[in-house]
Copies of this chain bind each other. A is one copy, B any other.
Amino acid sequence: MSGDLSFDPRSGAAAASVAHTSADELEELVALAVAAASDVRDVSPIVRRSWLDAGAAAMEENAQELVRIADWETALGSSRLNGEVARAAGQMRFYAEVAVDGAYLGAVIDQATPTTPFIGRLNVPLGPVAVFGASNFPFAFSVFGNDTASAIAAGCPVVIKAHPAHPLTSQRTFEVVHAAMVAAGAPVGIASLVFGYGSGVSLVKHPDVAAVAFTGSQTGGMSLWKLANERDVVIPVYAEMGTVNPVVVTPAAASDIATIAQGFVQSFTLGSGQFCTKPGLMLVPRGCNATKLVAEALEDAYPQPVMLTEGIANAVATGVGELQDAGATIVAETSSTGAGWSTAAVLLAASVDVLQRGNRVLEECFGPVAVIVEYDRLDDAVAAIGSLQGALAGSIMIAEDDPDARTILAHLAPKVGRIIVNDWPTGVAFTWAQEHGGPWPATSNPKTTSVGAAALDRFVRPVAYQGVPEALLPEPLLAGNPWSIPRRVSGTLEVADRS
């Protein structure tokens, strides 16, 4: 029987493997999710919060063990991984609070009028969700990461496909968190974990799976999206995919180019460049020595990137070759240690003329690789922005009272899900306002986000209850507002007093 091998990326050594889930096992796990669906749907968000809080606490209590396994499997370092465990636990608590707030329920009540009937509107959970864990965040975007936590908070059980980059981490995280949630009263089918590429495909095709959440590559996300679109009953695929995440430095901001150069290097090499928000392309005004300064900053920083998998390490080399074929030139390159899945960090430069729609330089190269482009006139920068694909995030570096800030912002905003002023795109806070999505092809559904309060919205759909008597209405629509949620009643938005 085949399985996911666990590797040490620092050496390339393999440890135990985790068996792939068989077709029969997968059927049993989906059936468990189906059996749990109405319970998870019908309890109040306060109950679901107690489950998620228990899971978060368990993750924190077992941080030491989880980080040890994850560091061995991912080489991301225990400092980063400890932070990530804390973040994942924080996310679970945050999505639980968003659910309790209840705005995600979209409750609306139209009282009957002489010409229109009573209608109550409510967002109801879709049912079992297939979650695809990411390679690059073994906790925060993985087994109990943003997708799982927001799906459960919204009232949906999940079946999680573990990423093969860290099977042991996935397995142990699942055991610890799932047990705590079940001990807190959640049904066993609240979450299940499966392994193997075939299991992922089976989930997307399974008639009882109602939605898919994915974080990863364009290739992976698009193939799941296509698969779901071929079903008899098409289901939504929320694929959050990597993009080039442009940075634009205005002429006025160039006065601080040395700081920007260091920040750029730090951001594009962070986590060995394995972020979907990595800034992969920076437009700078010519004449401020930016390319040289970034090259020097890279050499000074001297990162020693170790990639998550052999495949990713190989893809970095391939990607750098493609960027060169597309017209970019290497201007700085660190040396690789040569061990395991190590690679070099690479800075390339390209002419602004290269930035034409469809050019490879406008696409993500996952890993510690970035391209710098110098422009002569602001119009050239604006034209280059026009050629960009949709991206998750884009940064603008501006000066105080910058005369060009408004122009660049106006052109860049339509291309991104998140626009950032004087900061780097890496780092995605889980807050109410966050948008971690973006125009096609950053996400398969640009109206959604995989991080932040609106992440819950992906897993519900509205139902209108026309003429339904009070005794048969769902609790959130009852006259007394027993869940104390915000509701629009006969056109007026009412915020419940929760004190």
- C-beta contact mask, A421-432 vs B, less than 8 Å → 1, else 0? 111000001011
A35 at the interface (CB under 8 A from B): no
Supposing A440-B233, A441-B233, A462-B417 touch, asked if A429 and B116 sit within 8 A by C-beta, the answer is yes
- Distance A116 CA – B441 CA, assembled complex (angstroms): 27
A110 touches which one: B405, B416, B431, B460 (CB < 8 A)?
Answer: B431
What is the minimal beta-carbon distance from A260 to any residue of chain B, in angstroms? 14
Flag if A413 contacts B124 (CB, 8 Å): yes
B residues less than 8 Å from A494 (CB atoms): 495
Query: Interface of A with B (CB < 8 Å)?
Result: 101, 103, 106, 108-110, 115-117, 119-121, 124, 127, 229, 233-236, 390, 405-406, 409, 413-414, 416-423, 429, 431-435, 437, 439-441, 444-447, 449, 452-454, 457, 460-469, 472, 486, 488, 490-491, 493-495
A-B contacts, 16 listed (Cβ < 8 Å): A103-B488, A108-B433, A110-B429, A116-B431, A119-B431, A121-B452, A235-B440, A236-B445, A236-B447, A418-B464, A419-B465, A421-B465, A432-B488, A435-B464, A439-B461, A447-B462
Contact A466 B421 (CB under 8 A): yes
Apart from A432-B488, A449-B462, list 14 A-B contacts with CB within 8 A.
A108-B453, A110-B429, A119-B431, A121-B432, A124-B413, A233-B439, A233-B441, A234-B440, A418-B466, A421-B469, A421-B472, A423-B466, A423-B467, A495-B495
Q: Is the CB–CB distance between A461 and B432 below 8 Å?
A: no
With beta carbons under 8 angstroms apart, the residue of B406, B423, B460, B493 that contacts A495 is B493
CB nearest neighbor in B for A447: B461
A362 → chain B closest CB, angstroms: 13
Which chain B residue shows the least CB distance to A108? Answer: B433
Q: Tell me if B464 and A409 are in contact (CB < 8 A).
A: no
A130 to chain B, nearest CB (A): 16
Indicate if the CB atoms of B110 and A467 lie closer than 8 Å: no
| Contact present for B440 and A462 (CB under 8 Å) | no
- Which residues on the B side are within 8 Å of A116 (C-beta)? 429, 431
Verify A468–B433 contact, CB threshold 8 A: no
CA distance A463 to B439 in the complex (A): 10
* A464 and B433 contact, Cβ closer than 8 Å, known pairs A124-B413, A390-B233: yes
Q: Does B435 lie within 8 Å of A463, measured CB to CB?
A: yes
Q: Which residues of B sit under 8 angstroms from A236, Cβ to Cβ? A: 445, 447
Q: Which of chain B's residues have a CB closer than 8 A to the CB of A406?
A: 472
* Bound: A439/B452 CA distance, A: 26
Task: Give A422 to B469 CA distance when docked, in angstroms.
Answer: 10
Inter-chain contacts of A416 with B (CB < 8 A): 463
In the assembled complex, the Cα of A454 lies from the Cα of B462 at a distance in Å of 10
In the docked arrangement, what's the CA distance between A465 and B229, Å? 32
Task: Pick from B127, B390, B435, B463: contact of A413, CB below 8 A.
Answer: B463
Residue among A454, A462, A464, A491 facing the most chain B CB atoms (10 A cut-off): A464
